[in-house]
Amino acid sequence: MQSRRSRQKGQAFVEAGLILFIFLTFLIGTLDFGQYLYFHQSLSERARAALRYGITNVADRTGIKNMAVYNDPAGTANGATALVPSLTTAMIAVCLPGDNAGCSDPAGTSESRVTVTISGYPMVTFNLLFPREFTNKPIAVSAPSEAVSTIN
């Protein structure tokens, strides 16, 4: 016959296991949400940095892409590394004034705007039970160009 004290120890162990499971679920969910916010903000900042460069250097499409990834228009030529892990220039789309094919400008005035879009960035959740990989939503920023003439 078991004593009352040994049964209570078993009950405490079961209760602690249930609470620990709930706590870890919330903790991992918070980490996933924080990671998503961090990378979304980092990608938004990279798109804005490339846009700032692109407004004044409209003829340098490659430099605009390199600014988004490396924060250096020369790219890896100066030894720069990607500021956001797994971000490549292939994920960056640049629409310059005069571009018509495949460029959609959010403001509807494609003749005078520069648009930088980052899409296809891979994200992975921390969730161990249901791990999931997905791509981030496209991030597009657009601003008026300071170029005097359009690029053909």
Give a yes or no: residue 67 inside a domain: yes
Return mean pLDDT, the chain: 84
Give a yes or no: residue 152 inside a domain: no
Give a yes or no: residue 150 inside a domain: no
pLDDT confidence band for 152 (50 / 70 / 90): very low
Q: How many domains does the chain have?
A: 1
Task: Write the pLDDT tens digit of every residue in 30-73.
Answer: 988 999 999 999 999 999 999 999 999 888 999 999 999 999 99
φ, ψ of residue 26 to 5 degrees: the values are -65, -40
Domain span at residue 8 reads 4-144
Give a yes or no: residue 149 inside a domain: no
pTM: predicted TM-score of the whole model, two decimal places: 0.78
Give a yes or no: residue 70 inside a domain: yes
Give a yes or no: residue 27 inside a domain: yes
Look at residue 12 and give its three-state secondary structure: helix
pLDDT confidence band for 134 (50 / 70 / 90): confident
For residue 108, is pLDDT > 80?
Answer: no
pLDDT confidence band for 139 (50 / 70 / 90): very high
pLDDT confidence band for 4 (50 / 70 / 90): low
